[in-house]
Amino acid sequence: MPELPEVETVRAGLEQALRGARIRCVEMHRTSLRFPLPEDFAAYLEGERLNAFRRRGKYLLIELENKGLLLAHLGMSGRFTVLPPELPPEQGGWSRTRHDHIIFHMQGGTRLVYTDPRRFGLMDLIRDGNWREHRLLASMGIEPLGNAMNGAFLARAAQNRRMPLKSFLLDQRIIAGLGNIYVCEALYRARLSPRRMAHTLGQGARPGLRAERLARAITQVLREAIAAGGSSLRDYAQSNGELGYFQHAFTVYGREGEPCRTKGCKARIAKITQSGRSSFFCPHCQR
């Protein structure tokens, strides 16, 4: 269920559990996720050390010692689980079920399991380590928690876009990492309607004001979600099969018909469909 904060939580958890670990072998139960895996995927990785765990948007980049990078995206339903060295199932050990597609066996017996019921996730090898030119990464937009993120950037990026703000913010070529939930939450905080046309962001009596509000809202929402996700890292590291995903107390997402939480507002949260996805917002507070 990963948007940027969840992927960042996974990244930090993997780093804590597996940095420096060496792959002994890779057990494949699928040759294809969203895309076919490289034919030599398992063989290529065997013997490699995992040097570092990075993130770009919603992608995980796992740095190998000598052979470039392992790229992974969790899609809608992907997750990684770290398991301690094997115990027999009758002693509480783990046993594979049908959506556990890839098992990385580390030296020392720790295992990393990739599970993904819907198989919208992907993995690939970036053999030369030059991830910026990878076809899936080359046209990605800015990191929303990076230095480039501010009102001026948003206003400039939006100025010729004749599309709703919702679609604008979901476009990974502009900002990399936002998904349906955090876009809804950020727009609520910025008091901007998901239906507002993107190019109007910089209009009004004080140009830049709306864009500034939106930039701040995005940054805040993501930071808070990561901070809260971080607190579940212990569960993650215990690897009890639960990722300990951040269960955010969402302010608008999934709250159709419930009261708006803005003080003094009597309106109820509305749900509309925009480019095939649900948007939740307060029709009174968000303009």
Partner DNA sequence: AGCTCGACCTGCACGC
Partner DNA sequence: TGCGTGCAGGTCGAGC
Q: Which residues are catalytic?
A: 2-3, 58, 277
Note whether 277 binds DNA by CB under 7 A.
yes
Size of the site for DNA (CB under 7 A): 36
φ, ψ dihedrals at 97, nearest 5°: -120, 180
- What is the DSSP annotation of 215-270? HHHHHHHHHHHHHHHHTTHHHHHHTSS---------SSTT-TTSBP-STT---B-E
Single residue of 118, 127, 234, 287 touching DNA by CB under 7 A: 118
Single residue of 27, 100, 120, 283 touching DNA by CB under 7 A: 120
- Six-digit token pair at 33? 């996720």
Note whether 95 binds DNA by CB under 7 A.
no
Single residue of 132, 133, 160, 266 touching DNA by CB under 7 A: 160
Enumerate the β-bridge partners of residue 55: 60
Note whether 84 binds DNA by CB under 7 A.
no
Note whether 6 binds DNA by CB under 7 A.
yes
Question: What single-letter DSSP state applies at residue 267?
Answer: -
Note whether 76 binds DNA by CB under 7 A.
yes
The CB-side HSE value for 136 (13 A sphere, CA atoms) comes to 17
Note whether 161 binds DNA by CB under 7 A.
yes
3-class secondary structure, 82: strand
Spatial separation of the C-alpha atoms in residues 9 and 225, rounded to whole Å: 9
Enumerate binding residues for DNA (CB under 7 A).
1-3, 6, 34, 57-58, 73, 75-76, 98-99, 117-120, 135-136, 160-164, 167, 170, 172, 179-181, 198, 245-246, 275-278
